[in-house]
Amino acid sequence: MEINAMVQEINRLKKEKNAVILAHNYQIPEVQDIADIVGDSLKLSEEAAKTDADIIVFCGVHFMAESAKILSPEKKVLLPAIDAGCPMADMVTAEKLSAYKAENPDAQICVYVNSSAEVKAEADICCTSSNALKVVESLESNKILFAPDKNLGSYINSQLKDKQMELWNGFCITHERVREEEIKLVKEKKAGVQVVVHPECNPLVVQHADFVGSTSQILSYIKNSTDKEFIIGTEMGILHTLRKENLYKKFTLLSPALICYNMKKTSLEDVLHVLKTEENEIKVDETIRQKAYKSLKRMLEVTEG
């Protein structure tokens, strides 16, 4: 089927079935362009919690669609590419977290949304890269475990005044590929050009950046800046919106390794297919869902409040 025909059919089915399409900033351009909402993990969770659609088509990776289901259990949540996972989310399990809790009963646990429903169910609160500092500062305990992203955790630790969190040994395989030499070299070659990075990058990289933020924070930082050129230290999918929103600014990727193959698995064909067939529905066990809901809801309350 030709692209225009596919887009038309997607729009028709969306109306007919009262569906909403959510897409992460790392999705391929064609998928971002047919989405009703494109955003970072926080924005997409907020939208999933408040939409009145009957069907949510989540163009992203598994944990994102699962979070949507946790927040909106009465809705049908479809993941167009059913094998799109997040390797970082798989670096922590509910069993290991519960063993940690047994050994550290006084610790509070903050988990990054990049985690399974079972892991969220073991946590006290969730966070995303855009609200992590606020979330952690809201916790009363001085003993906090942050899981699974040690890079984001270490970035938050560097901003905390009176406590330091214990960090799980997980990381994003995409952002971790950026090397310190790459950012040092670009800063040398392009002196005066701002380098913006995601906090999932290694601290050795983050320390040289001019701005650190979630994908949406990067987008709004650049939109509001008067600078004309930027080096981008996050997954390449973000370049699509950056270029659409900033016609006269120039963007270069910090490293050619900044591509997340899981985020690239969703095609327009997949979106059309799930809208037609309602296959690839995400389900979460109700007991787990209720516990995970508490962690996500607490995060949304901290962010909104």
Residues near ligand SF4 (CB under 6 A) are 61, 86-88, 114, 172-174, 200, 235, 260, 262-263
Cβ-in-10-Å burial (0-12, 13-18, 19+) of 269 comes to exposed
**Residue (21 or 275) nearer to ligand 13P, CB:** 21
At 201, the amino acid letter reads C
128-160 burial, b at 16+ Cβ within 10 Å, e below that, comes to bbbbbeebbebbeeeebbbbbbbbbbbbbbeee
Is 22 within 8 Å of 62 (Cβ atoms)?
A: no
**Residue (218 or 274) nearer to ligand 13P, CB:** 218
Based on the shown chain and the rule CB under 6 A, indicate whether residue 40 belongs to the binding site for ligand 13P: yes
Based on the shown chain and the rule CB under 6 A, indicate whether residue 280 belongs to the binding site for ligand 13P: no
**Rounded distance, CA 246 to CA 84, Å?**
30
**Rounded distance, CA 253 to CA 1, Å?**
32
Q: Is 56 helix (H, G, I), strand (E, B) or coil?
A: strand
Q: How many CA atoms lie within 13 A of 127 on its CB side?
A: 25
Tell the smallest beta-carbon distance from residue 89 to ligand SF4 (Å).
7
Residues in contact with ligand 13P, shown as a per-residue x/- string from 108 to 127 under the rule CB under 6 A: ------x-------------
Based on the shown chain and the rule CB under 6 A, indicate whether residue 25 belongs to the binding site for ligand 13P: yes
Q: Which of 39-47, 201-209, 224-232, 296-304 is the region at the interface with ligand 13P (rule: CB under 6 A)?
A: 39-47
Based on the shown chain and the rule CB under 6 A, indicate whether residue 202 belongs to the binding site for ligand 13P: no
Among 47, 66, 182, 200, binds ligand 13P (CB under 6 A): 200
Q: Which residues bind ligand 13P (CB under 6 A)?
A: 25, 40-42, 86, 114, 128-130, 172, 198, 200, 214-215
